[in-house]
């Protein structure tokens, strides 16, 4: 069983929500990122999303864009990140998802990418600039290796299409909370609850909500109508300021678990 599926089954049994933490691969360095991921897991993150830096990250806001560029300037490559996953897997069973863009995957070749990801111990892949109409070949390559391709829906996605996308998404469905790019926001849109409730009603797989979630209160609010929350830019901001991640992860965990 894929680690992502097992996670959501376990959480459902416990009546808990998933805390999904995003870090940019190789930011600020690979060794700092390694420690950050382990702190996040210790602090209660259930699933780790590793951003594979891309030169043109069109779904990302300034915080993650800057971290991607920094990581690329530091010489990070998809190969180096897969090697890191391999090392991480020796000590951790935490589900791992790679968030990348289409071109690095096309460049590597779908089958090679899927094989290497499987060997390293990757459980899922998110490709925000891939639509379901074009996703078939990558889905097949990944499925042959037991890796899930996770699709995204946004508030602007028409309702019937939300359903089509949800049916194609494996592991979970990524619900984008707002119309815009990634990045911490002071407040989430007022109607995020209704949007999530609709998506969740249509989705055969668990729904995780991301984009703009920057503190424990927002995480708790968003989680009310979802199966998990994704926090990214707020973590990158802390890494940039050299602030510790462990207490922040714990506060997010606490906010989600509090009755």
Partner 1 sequence: MVREFQSVIGREVKVQIRAFQSGDPDALVACVGGGSNAIGLFAPFYDHKKVAFYGVEAGGEGLRSGRHSATLCTGRPGVLHGARTYVMQDENGQVLPTHSISAGLDYPAVGPEHAFYKDTGRAVYVAATDKEALAGFKMLNETEGLSAALESSHALGFLPRLAKKMKRSQSVVLGLSGRGDKDMAQLAEGFHEPH
Specify the residue, 58 or 217, whose C-beta has the smaller distance to partner 1: 58
Specify the residue, 82 or 209, whose C-beta has the smaller distance to partner 1: 82
> How many whole angstroms separate alpha carbon 61 and alpha carbon 234?
12
Q: Which of residues 95-114 bind partner 1 (CB under 8 A)?
A: 102-108
The only residue of 43, 61, 78, 121 in contact with partner 1, by rule CB under 8 A: 78
Q: Which of residues 12-71 bind partner 1 (CB under 8 A)?
A: 54-56, 58
Tokens 């935490």 correspond to what residue? 94
Provide, rounded to whole angstroms, the least separation between the CB of residue 82 and partner 1. 12
Is 257 among the residues known to form the active site? no
Is 116 among the residues known to form the active site? no
List, in order, residues 6 or more apart from 242 with CB less than 8 Å away.
none
> Which residue in the list 5, 46, 49, 225 is annotated as catalytic?
49
Provide, rounded to whole angstroms, the least separation between the CB of residue 108 and partner 1. 7
Provide, rounded to whole angstroms, the least separation between the CB of residue 56 and partner 1. 5
Specify the residue, 56 or 243, whose C-beta has the smaller distance to partner 1: 56
Number of residues that bind partner 1 (CB under 8 A): 16
Tokens 């992860």 correspond to what residue? 249
Nearest to 232 by CA among 77, 90, 62: 62
Provide, rounded to whole angstroms, the least separation between the CB of residue 212 and partner 1. 23
Specify the residue, 165 or 184, whose C-beta has the smaller distance to partner 1: 165
Q: Are 177 and 191 in contact (CB under 8 A)?
A: no
Specify the residue, 56 or 93, whose C-beta has the smaller distance to partner 1: 56
Q: Are 187 and 160 in contact (CB under 8 A)?
A: no
Provide, rounded to whole angstroms, the least separation between the CB of residue 76 and partner 1. 10
129 touches partner 1 (CB under 8 A): yes
By annotation, the residues acting in catalysis are 49, 60
Binding site for partner 1 (CB under 8 A): 54-56, 58, 72, 77-79, 102-108, 129
């Amino acid at each position: 069983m894929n680690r992502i599926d097992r996670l959501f089954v376990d959480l459902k049994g416990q009546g808990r929500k998933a805390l999904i933490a995003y870090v940019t691969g190789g930011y600020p360095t690979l060794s700092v990122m390694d420690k950050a991921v382990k702190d996040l897991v210790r602090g209660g993150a259930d699933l780790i999303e590793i951003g594979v830096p891309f030169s043109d990250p069109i779904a990302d806001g300034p915080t993650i864009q800057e971290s991607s560029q920094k990581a690329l300037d530091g010489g990070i490559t998809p190969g180096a990140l897969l090697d890191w996953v391999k090392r991480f897997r020796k000590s951790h069973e935490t589900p791992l998802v790679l968030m990348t863009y289409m071109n690095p995957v096309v460049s590597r070749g779908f089958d090679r990418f899927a094989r290497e990801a499987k060997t390293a111990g990757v459980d899922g892949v998110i490709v925000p600039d891939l639509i379901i109409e074009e996703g078939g070949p990558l889905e097949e390559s990944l499925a042959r290796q037991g890796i899930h391709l996770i699709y995204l829906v946004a508030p602007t996605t028409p309702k019937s299409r939300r359903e089509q996308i949800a049916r194609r998404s494996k592991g979970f469905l990524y619900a984008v909370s707002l119309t815009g790019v990634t990045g911490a926001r002071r407040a989430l849109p007022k109607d995020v609850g209704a949007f999530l409730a609709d998506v969740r009603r249509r989705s055969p797989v668990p729904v995780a909500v991301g984009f703009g979630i920057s503190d424990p209160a927002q995480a708790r609010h968003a989680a009310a109508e979802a199966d998990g929350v994704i926090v990214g830019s707020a973590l990158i901001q802390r890494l940039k300021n050299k602030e510790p991640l462990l207490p922040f992860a714990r506060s997010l965990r606490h906010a989600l678990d509090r009755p």
